[in-house]
């Protein structure tokens, strides 16, 4: 199962949505929404907390804590069930459409009887929205666009959600007596930014009990297909999981085959054919007499083809097979190379953990340095002021005293439509490091966006462009400036591009990382953590960075503090 915190947070979020949809008190809805965020971001498993412990969670008051206890002990939340009974399931589906809030969803249901996404499309196409107050032609077009974005995700899920399911399946199957090895393959092993289905591989002499146990797992919603070699299920949340059981001696070949990508496999098979060999999920064979040569480990399979082992994150047929043959595979950046996180938040703005909690979590990861970069003042929702920023800096400097982990005081600046940022040079000069991000005006023309990013890069105090494309996977499309021009400006000015590790961002995406790297850009792999638990999302950013062929030399937060400071100082000298 998902972490109890996630399950509880989802219930509270649904409760907040239902309050809003049913026209309840907006303030109450926000209270539960805040509580959901607090619970999701809380480091302690909520199932281990009592009422008092729960009330310590940011955003959780007494009545929310009572609901959580009720939910954890009975599996139900009476208040939630009551509201659920009032709202058709399809209406909840409507608010998943980007740009359609609870109020509009409820109006559509009340006025037009719309209770599913399909019905909404029909209503728009039939022009039935035009009579509704607050639903002009532009709104209808926006809604259609939102539905398109939603559907474009094509049933793919975030890598974090897929990993959670995979880990639960693997933990259960690994505990079975006949299971010799168990791991995930497919796009999840390759670290893609979205996952179609989860592929799990088991090595065992007897597949039957493994398949049987698999179909009995609590997360199974339905069994799609079952057989001795492959069984597919759909989880209760709709994600497909394919399980293949192979004999232990075929493990390497099977893992290689089911890791893919298909395009990589085709390229590798071509090499086999040229050498008079045959490669399949069962092994590497001599073509003339079908003698099995190797298949126990992936390394053997690649070696027998005259290749070094190729990291799964590179297996996309983007030149990795040629690089392997020439001995020019990149020395990929790993989680162990990262010396510090350079984009993080606290509860001074929209984070849920305190500064002290974030620092403790960063120290526990063994970081040498750590930047606190709360939101800057031009984002009205965050209520940031100069005084608050300066007070935080003072506090940070006191906390840094004598500690082994260096602390950098920074901010996540907002790049305004013209490319300017929140503060003037004098104030900016007081920061140790600045991230600058686009948080508004996503619909500018490509030319306007290009100019905006280039100008931000030219600011001597902007060190990192945060989540550059601003995409939210499955929810918001990336912005599209002339990236080559932006990357050239970044390289020329000594501005790093972020690889934001948050699973719904993963931004820059891998193709753009490759393009930027070719133009000499440096990168920072950051979590954008809003809670202590988010610091662990670094792994997803590392996978995307590897898919972009990044080495430690390309990534400024693998560097020593001295070198990082020199990078920042060099840019400031242009001021």
Q: By the criterion CB under 5 A, which residues form the site for Zn ion?
A: 437
What is the contact mask toward ligand DGT in residues 458 to 497, using x (rule: CB under 6 A)? ----------------------------------------
The reply on whether position 374 binds ligand DGT by CB under 6 A is no
Residue 368 makes CB contacts below 8 A (sequence gap 6+) with 339, 340, 404, 405, 406, 560, 561
As a whole number of angstroms, the distance between CA 470 and CA 477 comes to 8
Question: How many binding residues for ligand DGT (CB under 6 A)?
Answer: 14
Closer to ligand DGT by Cβ: residue 543 or 556: 543
What is the contact mask toward ligand DGT in residues 242 to 281, using x (rule: CB under 6 A)? ---------------xx-xxx--xx---------------
What is the contact mask toward ligand DGT in residues 182 to 211, using x (rule: CB under 6 A)? ----xx----x--xxx-x------------
Q: Smallest distance from the beta carbon of 192 to Ca ion, in angstroms? A: 9
Q: Smallest distance from the beta carbon of 192 to ligand DGT, in angstroms? A: 6
Closer to Ca ion by Cβ: residue 257 or 370: 257
Q: Which two tokens stand for residue 222?
A: 């339905």
In a 3-state reduction of DSSP, which class is residue 375?
Answer: strand
Q: Smallest distance from the beta carbon of 258 to ligand DGT, in angstroms? A: 4
Closer to ligand DGT by Cβ: residue 128 or 264: 264
What Å distances lie between residue 250 and 175, 178, 188, 226, 258, CA to CA?
Answer: 21, 16, 21, 21, 12
CB closest to Zn ion, residue no: 437
CA angle at 362 for the pair 360 and 367, rounded to the nearest 5°: 130
CB closest to Ca ion, residue no: 186
Q: Which two tokens stand for residue 410?
A: 């920074």
Q: Which two tokens stand for residue 377?
A: 């003042």
Q: Smallest distance from the beta carbon of 123 to Zn ion, in angstroms? A: 35
Closer to ligand DGT by Cβ: residue 186 or 548: 186
Residue 499 burial (CB count, 10 A): 33
Task: Please give the radius of gyration of the chain, using alpha carbons only, rounded to the nearest integer.
Answer: 26
CB closest to ligand DGT, residue no: 260
Which partner, Ca ion, ligand DGT, Zn ion, none, binds residue 369 by CB below 5 to 8 Å per kind?
none
Q: Smallest distance from the beta carbon of 207 to ligand DGT, in angstroms? A: 18
In the chain the first and final C-alpha atoms are separated, in Å, by: 53
Residue 232 has phi, psi (to 5 degrees) of: -120, 135
Nearest CA to 413 among 348, 469, 343, 491? 343
Rounded to 10 degrees, the C-alpha dihedral 415/417/419/423 comes to -50
Closer to Ca ion by Cβ: residue 13 or 261: 261
Which partner, ligand DGT, Ca ion, Zn ion, none, binds residue 437 by CB below 5 to 8 Å per kind?
Zn ion
Q: Is the peptide bond before 405 cis (omega within 30 degrees of 0)?
A: no
What Å distances lie between residue 83 and 19, 107, 370, CA to CA?
Answer: 7, 17, 44
Q: Smallest distance from the beta carbon of 142 to ligand DGT, in angstroms? A: 29
| Largest Cα span, the chain | 79
Q: Smallest distance from the beta carbon of 199 to ligand DGT, in angstroms? A: 5
Q: Smallest distance from the beta carbon of 468 to Zn ion, in angstroms? A: 11
Three-state secondary structure of 96-161: CCCCCCHHHHHHHHHHHCCCCHHHHHHHHHCCHHHHCCCCCHHHHHHHHHHHHHHHHCCCCEEHHH
Which partner, Ca ion, Zn ion, ligand DGT, none, binds residue 316 by CB below 5 to 8 Å per kind?
none
Q: Smallest distance from the beta carbon of 439 to Zn ion, in angstroms? A: 6
Which partner, ligand DGT, Zn ion, Ca ion, none, binds residue 340 by CB below 5 to 8 Å per kind?
none
* Contacts to Ca ion by CB under 5 A: 186-187, 197, 199, 242
- Residue length of the chain: 575
By CB under 6 A, name the binding residues for ligand DGT: 186-187, 192, 195-197, 199, 257-258, 260-262, 265-266
């Amino acid at each position: 199962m998902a972490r109890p915190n996630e399950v509880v947070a989802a219930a509270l979020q649904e409760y907040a949505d239902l309050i809003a949809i049913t026209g309840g008190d907006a303030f109450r809805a926000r209270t539960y929404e805040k509580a959901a965020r607090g619970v999701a971001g809380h480091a302690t498993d909520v199932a281990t907390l009592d009422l008092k412990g729960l009330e310590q969670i940011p955003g959780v008051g007494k009545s929310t804590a009572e609901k959580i206890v009720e939910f954890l002990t009975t599996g139900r939340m009476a208040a939630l069930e009551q509201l659920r009974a009032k709202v058709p399931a399809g209406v909840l589906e409507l608010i998943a459409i980007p740009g359609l809030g609870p109020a509009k969803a409820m109006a559509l249901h009340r006025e037009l009887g719309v209770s599913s996404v399909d019905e909404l499309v029909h209503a728009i196409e039939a022009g039935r929205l035009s009579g509704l107050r607050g639903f002009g032609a532009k709104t209808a077009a926006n809604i259609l666009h939102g539905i398109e974005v939603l559907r474009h995700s094509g049933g793919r899920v975030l890598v974090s959600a897929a990993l959670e399911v995979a880990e639960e399946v693997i933990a259960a199957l690994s505990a079975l007596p006949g299971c010799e090895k168990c791991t995930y393959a497919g796009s999840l092993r390759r670290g893609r930014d979205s996952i179609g289905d989860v592929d799990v591989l088991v090595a065992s002499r007897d597949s039957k009990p493994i398949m049987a146990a698999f179909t009995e797992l609590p997360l199974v919603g339905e069994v799609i297909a079952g057989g001795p070699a492959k069984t597919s299920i759909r989880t209760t949340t709709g994600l497909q999981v394919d399980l293949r059981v192979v004999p232990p001696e075929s493990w390497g070949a099977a893992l290689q085959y089911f890791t893919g990508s298909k395009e990589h496999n085709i390229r590798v098979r071509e090499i086999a054919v040229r050498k008079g060999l045959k490669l399949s999920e069962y092994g590497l064979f001599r073509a003339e007499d079908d003698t099995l040569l190797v298949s126990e480990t992936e390394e053997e399979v690649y070696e027998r083809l005259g290749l070094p082992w190729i990291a799964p994150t590179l297996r996309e047929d983007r030149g990795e097979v040629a690089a392997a043959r020439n001995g020019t595979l990149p020395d990929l950046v790993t989680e162990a190379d990262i010396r510090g996180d350079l984009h993080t938040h606290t509860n001074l703005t929209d984070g849920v953990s305190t500064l002290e909690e974030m620092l403790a979590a960063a120290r526990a990861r063994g970081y040498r340095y750590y930047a606190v970069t709360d939101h800057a003042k031009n984002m009205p929702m965050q209520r940031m002021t100069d005084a608050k920023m300066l007070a935080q800096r003072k506090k940070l400097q006191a906390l840094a005293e004598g500690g082994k982990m260096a602390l950098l005081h920074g901010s996540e600046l907002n790049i305004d439509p013209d490319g300017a940022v929140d503060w003037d040079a004098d104030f900016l000069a007081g920061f140790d490091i600045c991230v600058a991000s686009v948080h508004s005006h996503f619909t500018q023309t490509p030319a306007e966006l290009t100019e905006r990013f280039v100008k931000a890069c030219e600011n001597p105090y902007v060190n990192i462009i945060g989540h550059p494309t601003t995409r939210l996977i499955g929810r918001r499309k990336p912005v599209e400036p002339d990236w080559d021009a932006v990357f050239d400006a970044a390289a020329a000015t000594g501005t790093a591009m972020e690889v934001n590790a948050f699973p719904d961002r993963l931004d820059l995406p891998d193709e753009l990382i490759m393009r930027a790297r070719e133009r000499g850009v440096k990168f920072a792999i950051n979590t954008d953590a809003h809670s202590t638990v988010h610091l662990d999302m670094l792994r997803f950013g590392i996978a995307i960075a590897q898919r972009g062929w990044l080495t430690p030399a390309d990534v400024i937060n693998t560097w020593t503090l001295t070198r990082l400071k020199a990078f920042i100082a060099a840019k400031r000298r242009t001021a």
